Structure 1
């Protein structure tokens, strides 16, 4: 169920502009809004100079009673660059939705109409949390600056499911008028909504069985680099279903805690097969810690269905995976979803004598937890809490290739519910630390007299940095994995660089670091000027763009997790060249942000050691000026050059 909920939230966010509704249809000739002189004459958006397009009208109607949704929008193209929006993608989930009745037309600047009669293609566009998004894609005809594009469609959904709407009221465009409507299923259920960032006095209104919200002059949503999840920053309304909502949210979550406890404990239970398996798994362990490590390693071997590529209908029918009804089934079948694998770990740990519990957490990668929103699906993941020695420790067995004792970053420092008979206890998972996300870059390079730099490079990813890359690699084939790894280095180098991956180790498993070895060559790396060569000293940061170019910022800065980068580079100089001048080292920062670069003249070699540490990952917007100044210093340090001079024999 959580995957379904994740999909609905993320789908709405990715679509950005979802439209159309039955109440307005009666006013439309042929199902389209009238083309007005005002729409035709519009040439710019007041207060938004340079806008390439504007949404004149968009409407979305969701009917859970009839299990469908209709969408409509009209966009005015203002510039040549805005013509790209004539390429349309309608996202959907193939297993539970179908997109029907797509109609589209282009309105020329003179008001004449060109009906769309082209081909509609199916394509895969994105994947998140194991859910794959498909799209109906098509290109509008004769899109022109000064004209309009208009399309509408219907989404039919699985009648056995409820789809709590999420209304993303902002899109990438300024919107002149927008309308959202929702009819919930109320048979034995209650509905609740929560609004975020709406203008004062603008809230959904109940009209009969419907909830309706109409707004005018909605500003475009402007993305910023390293911002918190878009869903948190957008103007939005979220709906949720429950059997009963409570006046006090604490009472709602208390009931959820009781229900979650019953569900989890019923799934884990006390089973003889688990006890027998545990004794075999932990055989030979010399300490409680070693016992738990053996259990963790065994559970990580379970085939994790949550992170596999989506199987075709033919493949699924051929494989015929059995349903897991308890943790003994998970162990026997050798596969399970991430929640099932976490529960198996807890069951085996209990059998080995540990006090262990499942803790329900709210992941923070695409949304934050809001206790006032009484929606059980906010707690969208499970981790294990085990008492080891004299301390409680957290584990993430449901995340493939996650090291023992580490949580995936999105599950760190988040609200967590530890269920109990009385409803349970709210706790917080541990905060992440930079030591848990380290990237090392090592290089042994040689500079030739013509300025070419070549040699061997090694990237070492540990902790969360390795988990993230392993997770991304699971969805790709060997060719794409290798390309991604090449790009990992290539994107840091000048465009003239050639890079080859020589070896990869640690892509499977969890305890060892992920290591990638490269060979590389950069022609013209050092610039000749007379008898001198100008040598950039920060090899891996020359193509880096300042992450915070703008003087002002609207949203907080959100890196996701603390991290530490460590570079160690040795460059062998050409014969008869010596270092004439070398920039002084730099050391700046605090206990939150720190940067240091040390350059050493080692005779016929230059050694550069650089470290950058972020001990925090969330910075309020009012901290932005200080953060920007820090990165100004980092960029200045990375831009410095050594001067090499020829004509003299190297010192003996």
Structure 2
């Protein structure tokens, strides 16, 4: 029996999709019409920077080849960026590799002149983890100007022992005037088997596809395969804080499967996955010895769970450092076949460390289960889409006093008893005592993620500012900083934090990053310390206007549009606490103080700010908290009103009246006029 490995649907590792980017290799270039050449705007897409005139994608699994072709009309200067083309592909993935070849392109000027692409595309590595490698073919079409038509085409092929069912992402970032898709599946695909992540092979019995299409638009199935022609596809709606767009756009997703019945598929796939978890997390002398070193018989169940969690968290998580290839592991004599191997090697990826925690917890007498979920930041789980590949990350469930506690031992630096925001309200499949079941993770608690932002500032008579910022992070905030430092170094993490706050503080203020406190102490908050310099505020005669809120002075509005079509996902919920003290110069007095403000988002959010001016000191305390991240479009007006009122409060001015600074007489140490020194 032959086997096939990666399908194109797995090209979400770098959050990209081949069919989302570009499309097909027609035998001949289409010749532009006079109307296309003369087009300056597109009434079908008012204000668009560019539009697709035509897209085509053909997939032929019998010859293991995808072909793509695209025609794009540039309408504005912003649309010229479409000349930069990036095509991601798997250059190495377990039992199969993909290759992009036969890249051709040309630019057609508004007067009809054709400028062919004669350059050489270059390869860029965008992802590498162990034996998995994703590359990009990158090239730029020549002499692009407003009014140009851009055309390019290429072929993606793959090994003879690999099948690759297509993902037709119909809705694009640009309006599409016409698109044509065709899929010719391998006729004898039942001779192949599918291999899951645990290495289990399942016979292919059927070819299925899931669709989200406009009313009346259907995929045509015939002896020549599957065909779809569609016209006037609106551009993908991009709204702030929306759920994963790839889970909601118009699309046709083909996939090979062992069963046509949803219940049978998830039952069988769940059993195989659960069996692989139990095999990996099986008891062994190594695991029992490790448990005896970690816990004591007198520990409570919660103490045992915590100690095991902390022991696993100390191991090298190769998803944040560097995964070792099979060749390296063999050379070092490391097998990494089960939890005992991971414990001895002192390293593993996120899924392996999660399963190691489960093995240790079970050996300590605790009930522990695995749950695999879709990453909420990337995709939404759909039970009707019979693909295990939509499930991303494994978490652990441990029973403490009869209640489930959800843990994320594979997420480096995650606190015990907490989940990353993208693992909260996430759907997937979990283990039971007997079998598996669909399941969801609990929501995130806003108290997990706290940011305390303190500023100690002094304003000089000439408007210059000095002082220090101390910003303390817990929860998701601190975890992301530590992970960045682990992946790219502490200096890069410092640069990123400094860059972010530089974009938020008032114009004219300059920040210098001094460093972190507690970054190497995972049980503590991470504190960023920055030095403040520069100028703050603007003059209006004898008045000086300062922003009321130092940390939100240049913050972008959360929402601006009066209408909403997509649901809202705010991501992490949080508490922000600001404490700012500003010492005023002797010649300044407060003419106008911002008004205190309080807003409520019923059950889901609270905002409060109070301003105090006493003597030569101005102080404000601000608290903003959001406890629920997910909202339906019908709740958007209330959400918009809440954040708009917060923005209005943050943009109030502090008004100072500035008295003239007396000019003092020259002292005896100063040289007198006409004298030499």
Please confirm whether the aligned pair reaches a TM-score higher than 0.5, indicating the same fold: yes
Of the three residues 65, 74, 89, the one matched with 2:71 is 74
Task: Count how many residue pairs are aligned between Structure 1 and Structure 2.
Answer: 637
The alignment partner of 1:499 has SS state of strand
Q: Which residue number corresponds to residue 579 of structure 1?
A: 590
Q: Determine the C-alpha separation between the residues in 2 that align with 1:294 and 1:492.
A: 40
Q: Which residue number corresponds to residue 268 of structure 1?
A: 281
The alignment partner of 1:368 has SS state of coil
Is 1:282 equivalent to 2:279 in the alignment? Answer: no
Per-residue Cα deviation, 1:92-112 (whole angstroms, up to 9, x for no partner) = 233232221111112222333
Q: Determine the C-alpha separation between the residues in 1 that align with 2:218 and 2:118.
A: 39
Q: Contact between 2:169 and 2:249, CA under 8 Å: does it hold in 1? A: yes
Of the three residues 596, 603, 608, the one matched with 2:615 is 603
Is 1:20 equivalent to 2:39 in the alignment? Answer: no
Q: Contact between 2:107 and 2:141, CA under 8 Å: does it hold in 1? A: yes
Question: Aligned pair in 2 of structure 1 residues 435, 357: CA closer, same or farther (>3 Å)?
Answer: same
Residues 23-422 of structure 1: matches in 2 within 5 Å? 25=26, 28=27, 31-95=28-92, 96-124=97-125, 133-185=134-186, 186-187=189-190, 188-189=203-204, 190-196=206-212, 198-208=213-223, 210-246=225-261, 249-283=262-296, 286-308=299-321, 322-420=334-432, 422=434
Distance apart, 1:413 and its partner CA: 1.5
Distance apart, 1:3 and its partner CA: 11
Is 1:627 equivalent to 2:639 in the alignment? Answer: yes
Q: Tell me which moved more, 628-637 or 89-98.
A: 89-98
Q: Determine the C-alpha separation between the residues in 1 that align with 2:163 and 2:65.
A: 11
Unaligned stretches of 5+ residues in structure 1: none
Question: Aligned pair in 2 of structure 1 residues 437, 623: CA closer, same or farther (>3 Å)?
Answer: same
The alignment partner of 1:539 has SS state of coil
Q: Contact between 2:506 and 2:550, CA under 8 Å: does it hold in 1? A: no
Question: Aligned pair in 2 of structure 1 residues 600, 149: CA closer, same or farther (>3 Å)?
Answer: same
Question: Aligned pair in 2 of structure 1 residues 479, 3: CA closer, same or farther (>3 Å)?
Answer: farther
Per-residue Cα deviation, 1:110-147 (whole angstroms, up to 9, x for no partner) = 33322211232233457999987532222212223333
Q: Contact between 1:130 and 1:308, CA under 8 Å: does it hold in 2? A: no
Question: Aligned pair in 2 of structure 1 residues 548, 90: CA closer, same or farther (>3 Å)?
Answer: same
Question: Aligned pair in 2 of structure 1 residues 243, 513: CA closer, same or farther (>3 Å)?
Answer: same
Q: Contact between 1:11 and 1:92, CA under 8 Å: does it hold in 2? A: no
Question: Aligned pair in 2 of structure 1 residues 110, 64: CA closer, same or farther (>3 Å)?
Answer: same
Per-residue Cα deviation, 1:172-194 (whole angstroms, up to 9, x for no partner) = 22111112222345224122111
Distance apart, 1:47 and its partner CA: 2.9
Question: Aligned pair in 2 of structure 1 residues 163, 457: CA closer, same or farther (>3 Å)?
Answer: farther
Q: Tell me which moved more, 577-586 or 417-426.
A: 417-426
Question: Aligned pair in 2 of structure 1 residues 354, 169: CA closer, same or farther (>3 Å)?
Answer: same
Q: Determine the C-alpha separation between the residues in 2 that align with 1:103 and 1:2.
A: 26
Q: Contact between 2:484 and 2:490, CA under 8 Å: does it hold in 1? A: no
Q: Determine the C-alpha separation between the residues in 1 that align with 2:207 and 2:494.
A: 48
Per-residue Cα deviation, 1:290-314 (whole angstroms, up to 9, x for no partner) = 3222211111122222333578x99
Q: Determine the C-alpha separation between the residues in 1 that align with 2:333 and 2:632.
A: 47
Q: Contact between 1:331 and 1:344, CA under 8 Å: does it hold in 2? A: yes
Per-residue Cα deviation, 1:439-465 (whole angstroms, up to 9, x for no partner) = 111111111111222211111111122
- Backbone CA RMSD of aligned residues: 2.9
Of the three residues 514, 525, 545, the one matched with 2:556 is 545
Q: Contact between 1:126 and 1:134, CA under 8 Å: does it hold in 2? A: yes
Q: Which residue number corresponds to residue 580 of structure 2?
A: 569
Q: Determine the C-alpha separation between the residues in 2 that align with 1:512 and 1:76.
A: 54
Distance apart, 1:52 and its partner CA: 2.5
The alignment partner of 1:611 has SS state of strand
Q: Which residue number corresponds to residue 504 of structure 1?
A: 516
Residues 464-475 of structure 1: matches in 2 within 5 Å? 464-475=476-487
Q: Determine the C-alpha separation between the residues in 2 that align with 1:79 and 1:347.
A: 58
The alignment partner of 1:94 has SS state of strand
Distance apart, 1:435 and its partner CA: 0.9
Q: Contact between 1:13 and 1:231, CA under 8 Å: does it hold in 2? A: no
Distance apart, 1:348 and its partner CA: 0.6
Residues 486-525 of structure 1: matches in 2 within 5 Å? 486-508=498-520, 510-523=522-535, 525=536
Of the three residues 591, 594, 599, the one matched with 1:588 is 599
Q: Tell me which moved more, 320-329 or 395-404.
A: 320-329
Per-residue Cα deviation, 1:393-449 (whole angstroms, up to 9, x for no partner) = 011001111111111211112223223475323332111121112111111111111
Q: Which residue number corresponds to residue 435 of structure 1?
A: 447
The alignment partner of 2:551 has SS state of helix
Per-residue Cα deviation, 1:372-405 (whole angstroms, up to 9, x for no partner) = 1111122222111111234220110011111111
The alignment partner of 1:70 has SS state of strand
The alignment partner of 1:541 has SS state of coil
Distance apart, 1:344 and its partner CA: 0.5
Question: Aligned pair in 2 of structure 1 residues 64, 602: CA closer, same or farther (>3 Å)?
Answer: farther
Q: TM-score, normalised by structure 1?
A: 0.90
Q: Determine the C-alpha separation between the residues in 1 that align with 2:331 and 2:583.
A: 56
Q: Tell me which moved more, 428-437 or 251-260.
A: 251-260
The alignment partner of 1:16 has SS state of helix
Q: Contact between 1:505 and 1:516, CA under 8 Å: does it hold in 2? A: yes
Per-residue Cα deviation, 1:325-372 (whole angstroms, up to 9, x for no partner) = 111111111221211110100111111121111122222111101111
Q: Determine the C-alpha separation between the residues in 2 that align with 1:122 and 1:153.
A: 15
The alignment partner of 1:254 has SS state of helix
Unaligned stretches of 5+ residues in structure 2: 191-202, 662-677
Question: Aligned pair in 2 of structure 1 residues 510, 67: CA closer, same or farther (>3 Å)?
Answer: farther
